[in-house]
Chain A
Amino acid sequence: MKLAVWTYEGPPHVGAMRVATGMRDLHMVLHAPQGDTYADLLFTMIERRDHRPPVSYTTFQARDLGADTSGLFTSACRDAYDRFQPEALIVAASCTAELIQDNPGGLAETMGLPVPAIALELPSYQRKENFGCDEAFLQLCRALARPTARTERVTCNILGPTALGFRHRDDLAEITGLLSEMGIEVNVAAPMGASPSDIKRMGAAHFNVLLYPETAESAARWLEKEHGQPFTKTIPIGANATRAFIDEVRTLSGSTLPVDESRLRQPWWAASVDSTYLTGKRVFLFGDGTHVMAAAKVARDEMGFEVCGMGCYNREQARPLRALAKEFGLEALITDDYLDVEAAIEAAAPEMILGTQMERHIGKRLGIPCGVISAPVHVQDFPARYSPQMGFEGANVLFDTWVHPLVMGLEEHLLHMFREDFEFHDDAGPSHHGGHAPRPDAVMADASAPAAPAAAADGGSMPPADAPPSQVSAAHQNVVWLSCAERELKKIPFFVRGKARRNTEAFATEKGLHEISVDTLYEAKAHYAR
C-alpha cells in the first residue's frame, strides 16, 4: 500500500485507451464498473476530442458480482460489435475486473466474432499508463501485422504517437514532413491515425521511426525481430538531436537528399547576444525519461544552461536516465511521488524548472518559473497552434517555451540596479507575465486563504503541511543570519536569492563561521563567482 496524492501516470487500461482512441476502426471493450468511464473525459475535455473514445464499459455493479459478470462482458462485446462494426476489438479488464478474474480474452475468443478480438493483460496493481500504451500497441502488432513484401520505394513506419500524448499530433506532422523532405514516405504511422488494416501492412516498411519509447518500444523491438525492420534510436528533440536523427535515417534508408535548415532559428536565437543572460541558468528537469533525457542535452548544449537536477517518473527509463545523469555529474531522481520531486527541487533551488504540469504547480508554490516538457498532460498542452517538440520547428518551439517563463535579459539587469523601486521590484516577477507573478511568500499565504469552489481553485486548500522553509536550511543548522545580512539578501533578485542563500550558508559552514554578515555574503559571492 502506498499513499498517493497526485499521480504522474494513470492505470494501464488508460494507456490502452490512448492507443485505441488514437486509432480508427478499432473498438475496445473494457470490463469495468461504472465510474471508470471518467477516463472518457480525459480525451474529450483535455484533448478536446469531438468523438467519444471507442470504448465500451461493461458497467458491472455490486449485485452482479455473485451472479453473471461474464455474461455482462459477452453481451457488451456483442453490442459493441453490432453498433460500431470495428475491424478489430481489443478486450481488457480494469483494476476491479482483474480481481474478479472473468478472463475477458478467453470469453471474447469463444464468441465467434467475425473480427479479431485481441486480449490485453494489464496488471493494474503492478504497472501503469505507459506500460498500458506499450503493451496494447505490441499486442495489436503481434495479432495483426503480417509478413508483407517491402514497398518498392524506401518507406518507414512512425511508431509511438497516441491520443492524449504530449504534442504527439504536431511531432507526427513535423517528422512526417522531415522524412518526406528526405524522400521517405510514411507507410503507416501508428497508433495515432492508423486502422487495424493499416497495422496489417506495417511489414511493408523498410524501417521504423520510434518517436516515443514510452509507448512503442516493445512494438519496435518485436517488429525488428519478426519483420526485420531496424528502428531509429535517436529522439529528434533539439537541433543537434534532429541532425543526428537525420544521419541515422540516412544510414537506414540510403537517402542522400539535402534537408533544408533555413527555418531552424533556435541556434541563432541562442547565440544572439540577447541570450547571454541565459548563460549558466540552473535548471531542474523532471518528466518522462525520454523527454527529460532529450531536454537535458538541449539545455546544456543548445541553451547554455546548467542542469542541476534531473529525474523521471517512469521506472522503465530509469537505467538510461541514470547513465545520462552520471554523465552530467548528477544523481538521477527516479520517483513517482511528487512530494519527493518537490523536496528535490527545493533543495536544488534551481532558477528554472523544466517539468510536467505537476512541476509547474511546484514551481508556483516555490516561486520558480517552469516550462512544461512532458506528459502528464493538461488542457494547456493541446494548443490550437502548431507546436511540435521534435524536428527543427520543435527546436524553435523549445527555445520560445523555455525562455518565456524567465525574466528577460535587460529586465534582469534593471532589477539588479533598482531593487527597491516600488513597482519594478524583484518580487513583482517577470513583467511580461500578466498581472505579475505573485511573490513566493504571497503564494504561501494564498494557499491558506479560504478557497472558492473546488473546481475553480487552482491554488491550495490548506496551508502547506510543513512550515515555510526556515531561515537556515537543514544542512547548515549552526549558521545564523544577522539581520543586516538578511536585509541585504532580500535585495538580491528572487530568481537567484535561493542560490545566494545556499551558497552563503555553505561558504560559512566551510569557513566554520556561525554568523553571516553582509561581508560574509559578499565573500561568498566572490568565492563562487564564475
Chain B
Amino acid sequence: MSAPLDTATPSKGCRDTPVLRERGQREVFCGLTGIIWLHRKMQDAFFLVVGSRTCAHLLQSAAGVMIFAEPRFGTAILEEKDLAGMADANAELDREVARLLARRPDIKQLFLVGSCPSEVIKLDLSRAAERLSEQHGPAVRVLNYSGSGIETTFTEGEDACLAALVPSLPSTEARELLLVGALPDVVEDQALDLLAQIGIAPVRCLPARHAEDMPAIGPHTVYAVTQPFAGDTHAALKRRGARRIPAPFPFGAEGTTLWLKAVAAEFGIAPEVVDQVAAAPRARAEKAIAAATATLHGKRIFFMPDSQLELPLARFLTRECGMEAVEISTPYLHSDLHGPELDLIAEGPVISEGQDVDLQLDRVRATRPDLTVCGLGLANPLEAEGLATKWAIELVFTPVHFYEQAGDLASLFARPLRRRELLARQHPNRVEAAE
C-alpha cells in the first residue's frame, strides 16, 4: 500500500522503448490556450491574439468557464477587408494596440500572439512588435510569439512565450539559479522557500510576476526547469550561454526530492542537507499521497497526449502511487527534458508521440484502462462507454508541483475513481443522448 520511496532507477526503464509515432486527427488545444494561465501569472502583461473569431471563441471556451471581468487578453479579429488588402493590417494593428494601451495604462508588457490565420497570411508580427516597441517604449515592451495550432500544441504556447522573452532579457555575469516555467504563485513561493532553506539564494523566475522583476541571463546562469514543456525556452537559454541542471520534474515526493538534490549538487550542497530540510514536507507529502494510493494502487492508467506532463505524471503515479501505465502518450517527446523521466519509468507501457485520435481510442477500448487521462472533448463520451476519465486540463490549471501539492496531485487521479465507487449503484454507464 504505502509506496516505497525508492530513488533507484528500475532495472530497465523506458529510455530505449521504441516510440509509437502517430499523426492524424489530434484532439488537443492549440498554443493560444496557454494565455489562460499566463495572463494571470504575469500581472502587467496583456496578450493580444491576432487571429480569427475562432481564436476568440477558443479562448473563452477553453477554460470550461468564462473568466469574466476584463481579462488581460483579447483577440484582434481579422476581417475580410484585412485579408483582401483593402485595409493595411499593420495600420489596423497599430490602431488597436494604441487604443488598448490608452485604456490600460497598467500594461507594461504586450505580447502579440500569432495564430493560424496570421501565420498563413504571413503577417510579420516580429516587425510589428519592433515597430510598436518604438512607439510605446520604454513604458511598454512589445514582444511576439506564435500560439498557432499549426505550430504549437497546448502548453507549447507557454514555451513559445517564454522563449520569446529570453532574447530580450538583460545580460549578467552573476551565478544565479533560474526556475523556468510558470508556476502558481503559492507554489513558486514554496519552491523559493525550500531552496533558501537549502542555502540557494537569490533565485530568479521565468516568467516573473512583473516586468521589472524579469531575470537577467548570462554564462553563469544555471536553470532548473519546472515544466516539462519548456523545450524551446531551454534551447533559447542555452543560446544565451546558460546551463541546465538535468533532473526529473518536481512532481510527487520523489520527484521533488530528486529535483532539489540535483539543484543542490550544482551548488555544492550535500544531499543530506536536502534530506534534512525536506524531511517534514516530504513526510507530509508521503502521508497525503498514501491516502490517495489506497484508491489508485494496482489501477491501470492510459494517458492521451495533451500537455507534455504525461511522462512525469506517469512516473509519479507508477512509482509513488502503485499504478500501472498502459500507454503514455505525449504530443512531443523531448528526449533531453524527458529522458530522466523515461529512465525512472519501468519498462512495460507503450510510449507514443503525436496522435491519430480514432486509432488511439481503439486502443483505449481494447485495453479498457481503469482511468484515461484525456481532453475535455473526449471525457464524457468515454465515461458514457463506462471508462473513467481524468480531464487533462485540470492538471495544468491546478497547483500540482512540489511537496505540499503532491497529495492534491494524487487525489486528482483518485477522485474520478472514488466518485465512480460512490455512484456505483446508480451510475447509468450509458445514458441516451440528450435529444
Q: Give a binary string over A64-100; 1 marks a CB under 8 Å from any B CB, 0 the rest.
A: 1100000000001001000100000000001110011
Q: Which residues of A contact B27 (CB under 8 A)?
A: 37, 40
Q: Which of B361-395 contact A (CB under 8 A)?
A: 375-381, 383-384, 393-394
Partner of B377, one of A3, A11, A52, A100: A52
Is A45 in contact with B72, judged by CB distance below 8 angstroms?
A: no
Contacts A45-B376, A125-B79, A458-B65 supplied; 18 other A-B pairs, CB < 8 Å: A1-B96, A5-B73, A35-B29, A37-B26, A38-B29, A39-B61, A40-B377, A41-B376, A44-B376, A48-B380, A49-B380, A51-B433, A52-B377, A96-B150, A99-B120, A126-B80, A192-B435, A462-B72
Q: Which residues of B contact A62 (CB under 8 A)?
A: 119, 148, 150-151
A47 within 8 A of B: yes
Distance in Å from the Cβ of A31 to the closest Cβ of chain B? 12
Q: Which residues of A contact B397 (CB under 8 A)?
A: 453-456
Known: A124-B53, A460-B69. A50 touches B37 (CB 8 A): no
A438 within 8 A of B: no
A382 within 8 A of B: yes
Q: Which of A339-394 contact B (CB under 8 A)?
A: 357, 361, 364-365, 378, 382
Q: Count the B residues whose beta carbon is within 8 Å of the partner chain — how many?
A: 90
Residue of A nearest to B331 (CB): A34
Q: Which residues of B contact A447 (CB under 8 A)?
A: 69
Q: Which of A53-61, A111-119, A295-303 contacts B (4 or more CB under 8 A)?
A: A53-61
Partner of B53, one of A39, A64, A95: A95
Q: Which residues of B contact A36 (CB under 8 A)?
A: 30, 54, 149
A193 within 8 A of B: yes
Q: Which residues of A contact B24 (CB under 8 A)?
A: 59, 79
Q: Which of B94-152 contact A (CB under 8 A)?
A: 95-96, 99-100, 103-104, 106, 116-117, 119-121, 148-151
Q: Which of A114-159 contact B (CB under 8 A)?
A: 123-126, 128
Docked Cα-Cα span, A240 to B65, in Å, equals 36
Residue of B nearest to A63 (CB): B150
Is A3 in contact with B383, judged by CB distance below 8 angstroms?
A: no
Q: Which residues of A contact B25 (CB under 8 A)?
A: 37, 56-59, 76
Q: Which residues of A contact B26 (CB under 8 A)?
A: 34, 37, 57, 59
Q: Which residues of B contact A465 (CB under 8 A)?
A: 70, 103-104
Docked Cα-Cα span, A462 to B68, in Å, equals 10
Is A455 in contact with B434, judged by CB distance below 8 angstroms?
A: no
Is B380 in contact with A3, judged by CB distance below 8 angstroms?
A: no
Known: A37-B28, A44-B381, A48-B380. A100 touches B434 (CB 8 A): no
Q: Which residues of A contact B61 (CB under 8 A)?
A: 10, 38-39, 41-42
Q: Which residues of A contact B165 (CB under 8 A)?
A: none
Q: Which of A408-464 contact B (CB under 8 A)?
A: 447, 450-451, 453-462, 464
Q: Which of B85-93, B193-201, B276-284 contacts A (4 or more CB under 8 A)?
A: B85-93
Q: Which residues of B contact A378 (CB under 8 A)?
A: 66
Q: Which residues of B contact A183 (CB under 8 A)?
A: none
A169 within 8 A of B: yes
Distance in Å from the Cβ of A198 to the closest Cβ of chain B? 13
A526 within 8 A of B: no
Distance in Å from the Cβ of A401 to the closest Cβ of chain B? 20
A230 within 8 A of B: no
Q: Which residues of B contact A125 (CB under 8 A)?
A: 52, 78-80, 82-83
Residue of B nearest to A45 (CB): B376
Interface centre among A40, A193, A364 (most CB of B within 10 A): A40
Is A52 in contact with B378, judged by CB distance below 8 angstroms?
A: yes
Is B394 in contact with A458, judged by CB distance below 8 angstroms?
A: no
Residue of B nearest to A450 (CB): B185
Q: Count the A residues whose beta carbon is within 8 Å of the partner chain — how many?
A: 77
A530 within 8 A of B: no
Known: A7-B60, A33-B148, A455-B394. A49 touches B381 (CB 8 A): yes
B77 within 8 A of A: yes
A511 within 8 A of B: no
Residue of A nearest to B185 (CB): A450
Docked Cα-Cα span, A455 to B59, in Å, equals 12
Docked Cα-Cα span, A401 to B77, in Å, equals 35
A14 within 8 A of B: yes
Docked Cα-Cα span, A35 to B40, in Å, equals 22
Is B149 in contact with A458, judged by CB distance below 8 angstroms?
A: no
Q: Give a binary string over A231-242; 1 marks a CB under 8 Å from any B CB, 0 the rest.
A: 000000000000
Known: A7-B53, A38-B61, A458-B67. A44 touches B116 (CB 8 A): no
Q: Which residues of B contact A474 (CB under 8 A)?
A: none
Is A5 in contact with B435, judged by CB distance below 8 angstroms?
A: no
Distance in Å from the Cβ of A364 to the closest Cβ of chain B? 8
Interface centre among A14, A49, A65 (most CB of B within 10 A): A49
Known: A4-B56, A99-B117, A462-B71. A61 touches B151 (CB 8 A): yes
Distance in Å from the Cβ of A287 to the closest Cβ of chain B? 16
Known: A1-B92, A47-B434. A461 touches B82 (CB 8 A): no
Known: A193-B435, A361-B66, A455-B63. A99 touches B121 (CB 8 A): yes
Residue of A nearest to B63 (CB): A455
Docked Cα-Cα span, A47 to B78, in Å, equals 29
Q: Which residues of B contact A56 (CB under 8 A)?
A: 25
Residue of B nearest to A466 (CB): B103
Is A41 in contact with B375, judged by CB distance below 8 angstroms?
A: yes
Q: Which of B270-290 contact A (CB under 8 A)?
A: none
Distance in Å from the Cβ of B400 to the closest Cβ of chain A? 11
Distance in Å from the Cβ of B115 to the closest Cβ of chain A? 8
A-B contact pairs, 23 of them (CB 8 A): A1-B78, A1-B87, A2-B77, A4-B76, A4-B77, A5-B71, A6-B56, A40-B378, A41-B375, A47-B434, A50-B380, A61-B150, A62-B119, A124-B52, A124-B53, A128-B53, A192-B435, A451-B40, A453-B184, A459-B69, A461-B67, A464-B70, A465-B104
